[in-house]
Amino acid sequence: MIKVEVISIENIKPSSPTPASLSSYKLSSLDQLAPPFYVPLVLFYTRHGHGQHQNYLKTSLSKTLTRFYPFAGRLKDEYHVDCNDQGVEFTEARVNVQLAEFLRQPEVDVLNLLFRFNPFHITFGMELLLAIQLNIFECGGMAIAVLLSHKIADGATIVAFLNAWSATARGVDAVIQPKFIANSLFPARASISHYFRTTEEKVLTVRFMIDALNIAALINRSASSSQGWRPTRIEAVSALIWGALMRVRSDKGLKKASVALHAVNLRPRMTPPLPDCSFGNLWVHAVTAGIAGSERVEDMQRCMEGQVRDAIKAVDTDYIEELRRPDGALRFYECMESAAEKYSSCGMDVYHFTSWCRFPCYEMDFGWGKPVWISGSIPVKNAVLFLDGSGGDGMEAWVTLVEDEMEKLKSDPELLSFFTCAS
């Protein structure tokens, strides 16, 4: 049985006090819209180089927090973070197995043992914005488990922070400097909150894997239909999973419309584009509606790819300019809140798709090499997180569903003709 024993817990504060002029970090309207949960991420390393890894990890973290100072604060209200330098929680723990044994079948329940507390829970104004646990395996391998509040940052921000921290640990001078511009572009507004719907149902997260050859085969199958365009990796793979999810519901006698929400990173879509290290939540949902049909799965796949493509393309310069208008964020919130109520009242299924593919997650070298594997998930019902595979060319889809639907998804023939289920 795998056991994780906590050795120590301490607060790591910024190495230099945050200036009084920066004592209050203003959230943006997009931060207000972000769902209230922690985003979990684990980086696995086969070796640590020397026995002082804890000390220089903590020292480099302290230096990095001077630049990413809001993480060391506390959420004050729906508009501000109190940048009081209270610090982030840094836990050291020992795992009673070899890393290779742990990674042999890493189910989410086991992965969650590497975190200090449940990523499904956050209490505003009281909980930490960032918590880190260093897990050391019997062989000397390590897992750095990170929990970051989604109310203050998105995936791009998490990756920028971790790359800045790892560069500092290696002694690299040209480190990442975050850009705190989200509030100036999307100021916080009254009467805005997240439109996320929680559930008391028991959910299960399972990892599905697809290699480069199967991704190419899926794309080529759609491209051969002579529609004049080739789907992207995300369009093809998310449409495949979405179709499988609708078949699962259809098999239960629930053949009805569903909605796919794709998180779209606004940074490269701004004019001019924003730096990747722009801090905060800088994304919106692209909304796509579909219904499980009786047509061939290839035709359904192609149709859904087109719908996903059109929805994501609609998040263009004009869309963003509308969002930036004084009433833009409020109108977006009211539209999404109304839609959420409508979907809930008529029993429509809503699926959340997020992609961290192409983010430089596998560049996070703290001085003992790059990670051998990275795990993550979105800890909510009907969520799908895409990550690059450890080999660099494939993809992993971390899917969270209620338990009985997950069992059906794991046996969907069309999905399994391209994906492999990890458990």
Is there a cis peptide before residue 272, judged by omega within 30 degrees of 0? Answer: yes
Q: Which residues contact 416 (CB under 8 A, 6 or more apart)?
A: none
pLDDT of the residue at 125 = 45
Q: Which residue has the tokens 């290696």?
A: 170
Domains of the chain, first to last: 4-185 (3.30.559.10), 203-359+373-421 (3.30.559.10)
pLDDT per residue as tens digits for the range 25-41 = 999 999 998 888 889 99
Q: Which residues contact 216 (CB under 8 A, 6 or more apart)?
A: none
Out of 48, 80, 150, 352, the active site residue is 150
DSSP state at residue 418: T
d(Cα 40, Cα 149) in Å, to the nearest integer? Answer: 9
Among 78, 80, 73, 82, CA closest to 33: 78
Q: Which pair of structure tokens corresponds to residue 185?
A: 């572009």
pLDDT band at 138 (very low <50, low <70, confident <90, very high): very high
DSSP notation for 40-91: EEEEEES--SSTTHHHHHHHHHHHHHHHSGGGGSEE-SSSEEE-----EEEE
Percent of the chain with pLDDT over 90: 63
User: Higher-confidence residue: 82 or 119?
Assistant: 82
Tell me if the pTM is above 0.85: yes
Active site annotation includes 365: yes
pLDDT per residue as tens digits for the range 172-226 = 877 789 999 999 999 998 877 776 666 677 889 999 999 999 999 999 988 776 5
> Alpha carbon of 367 to those of 49, 173, 262, 287, 333: distances in Å?
7, 14, 35, 42, 43
Residue 120 near residue 31 (C-beta atoms within 8 A): no
* 45-49, 69-73, 129-133, 407-411: segment of lowest average pLDDT: 45-49
pLDDT of the residue at 196 = 65
